[in-house]
Amino acid sequence: MESPALGIDIGGSGIKAGFVNTTTGEMIGERIKIDTPIPSTPDAVAQAVKELIEGLNFKGDKIGCGFPAVIQDGVSLTASNIDKGWINTNVEELLHRYTGHKYYVINDADAAGLAERMYGRIKNEKGTVLMLTLGTGIGSALFYDGVLIPNTEFGHLLYRDSIAEHWVSNRARKDRGLEYDTWAAELAAFLDYTILLLAPRMIVLGGGVSFRFDQFSRHFDHLRVPVVNAMMYNDAGIIGAAVAAYPELLEAYT
C-alpha cells in the first residue's frame, strides 16, 4: 500500500485535501483548503483539483475523493450544493483526464462515515448505526454491522413543510438566526423521527457543529438511543475518502 494516502473532499464551498495514515486514521501534516470555483462546473472543479494536487507534489497513483452527490459506479446522479452540470457526469473519469490518477469517488457523507467506521465512533459497532453530517445541508451515512449502505439521503426526508436540511442543518440554524439550544431542541425532534424509521443502535453527529457538541448534547438525553459526536470532526471527509481508495482496508475490517 502507498503511504501516505491522499484524500480529497469536494464540497459546495470548499475543496479540502490532505495526506492520511490509513493505519491510524491520523492526518499527516496540514490539510489544504481552496475555494470551490464559481460556477462549480465539472471542468472548473477538475482544474482546481489538478492545481491542488500539483501543489501537494503527490507521487502516488490513486486518490480517494468524497463528492456531494449520489455516486454510482463513479457517476454523479445528483448535484447537492454544486453545479447541476455534474448530473450524469462520470466524476472518476473526468478527474482522471485532468490529473492522470485513478480515482475512487464516493458520496461525501459516506466518506465521513467511513472515517468513523474505521477509526472512530462506529468502529466495532454492531447493528444499525446512522451518521449525520450537519453543515450546508445534512448528509447521511448508514451502516449495518459495519457495512456501509451507500447513498442514503436522510437530509432530504420530507419534514414539516419542506425537507429536514431546510430546518435543522447548520446553515438552516444560521439562516433562521437560532441559538444552539433552540436549534438542538428542534434537531432532537428530527433525530427522534429517524429513530422511529430506522431503530439505530447509535446516532453519530458530524460536521463543524461536532466541535460544539458538549454545548447542546443535553437536548438528546431523552432519546432512546445514544447520540454522540464524531471523533474525526471536519477531517472526516478527507480521511474517509483516502480510505475509499483502498477497498482492501474495508474488507479487512469487515
Chain centroid to CA 57 = 25
- Domain total in the chain: 2
Residue 85 located in a structural domain: yes
81 Cβ partners below 8 Å, 6+ apart? 11, 12, 13, 68, 136, 137
pLDDT-based confidence at residue 253 (cuts at 50, 70, 90): low
The pTM of this model reads 0.93
Domain carrying residue 98: 5-111+235-252
pLDDT-based confidence at residue 197 (cuts at 50, 70, 90): very high
For residues 28 and 69, membership in a common domain is answered with yes
Across the chain, mean pLDDT equals 94
pLDDT-based confidence at residue 3 (cuts at 50, 70, 90): low
For residues 80 and 138, membership in a common domain is answered with no
Instruction: Measure the CA–CA gap between 7 and 183, rounded to whole angstroms.
Output: 32
For residues 208 and 239, membership in a common domain is answered with no
Residue 34 located in a structural domain: yes
pLDDT at res. 160: 93
- Let me know the angle formed at the C-alpha of 50 by 44 and 53, rounded to the nearest 5 degrees: 140
For residues 148 and 91, membership in a common domain is answered with no
Tell me the pLDDT tens digit for each residue of 94-105.
999 999 999 999
Give the mean pLDDT of 66-70.
96
For residues 219 and 239, membership in a common domain is answered with no
Residue 117 located in a structural domain: no
